[in-house]
Amino acid sequence: MRKLIAGNWKMNGLASSLAEIEALKGTTGTAACDIVVCPPFTLIEKASVRSNGSNIAIGAQDCHAHISGAYTGDVSAEMVADVGARFVIIGHSERRVLHLETDTTVASKVTTAHKAGLTAIICVGETRSERDEGRAVEIIDGQLRGSIPAGASSSNIAIAYEPVWAIGTGLIPTLEQIEEIHASIRRMLEERLGEDGREVRILYGGSVKASNAADILRVANVNGALVGGASLKAADFAEIILAAS
């Protein structure tokens, strides 16, 4: 399975940051994996132009559950597709926690993303207390069941496992813990999607960096990575990409 390495810039980046995409183009042209950069909404169109002709796809970090309407300040899936996005991150823990997004909300957004022709990267993950209670598999299974809508397939979704307690903290599960969760996600996908569930890419996210990427990407059922801070600089992100190639 061809790996997918996605960079989530979060609320970082100005026009000057697009130089990082130019730099990335110069170092990953022969990478044997799929590459996605998800800048803030303000940079999607310019990033699409900068990445034109390269192996770098551009994605959005969120979209609204409706195609259009009286939703001041929101951005629809059609809008981000219109300015060049091909992917969209949906259900990131920061959206679930800070914006109170539920599994139902996530599933609605994924459906809308599919209507706009976007591939949805659906995020799931447990908190520290949920892991300490031994409920990580249960929590993630529930999130998946509630967040994957009808019509989902290996061609229009990827799953990103991001333990909430590892995001931006420098902490990381053991390789055995990652393998356990990814195996449980695979089982659920096969149960839900049949044989096609074997083809859905499952990414690991949460303090991924150049120093640990190769080890993580060798774990069974880890088909890529969702990278936060380390994706902001081309040199750092390129090392992760090359580790997947």
- What DSSP assignment string belongs to 30-69? T-SSEEEEE--GGGHHHHHHHHTTSSEEEEES---SSSSS
Just list the catalytic residues.
92, 162
168 pLDDT higher than 90: no
* pLDDT at residue 169 tops 90: no
pLDDT band at 176 (very low <50, low <70, confident <90, very high): very high
pTM given for the model: 0.97
Backbone angles phi, psi at 204, to 5 degrees: -105, 140
With bands split at pLDDT 50, 70 and 90, how would you rate the model's confidence at 167?
Answer: confident
Positive or negative torsion for Cα 109, 110, 114, 119: positive
For the cut 90, the answer to whether the pLDDT of residue 245 exceeds it is no
| Tens digits of residue pLDDT in 40-92 | 999 999 999 999 999 999 999 999 999 999 999 999 999 999 999 999 999 99
Q: What is the CATH number of domain 4-243?
A: 3.20.20.70
Q: pLDDT tens across 199-233, in order? A: 999 999 999 999 999 999 999 999 999 999 999 99
* Domain ranges across the chain: 4-243
Q: Do residues 63 and 76 touch, judged by C-beta distance below 8 A?
A: yes
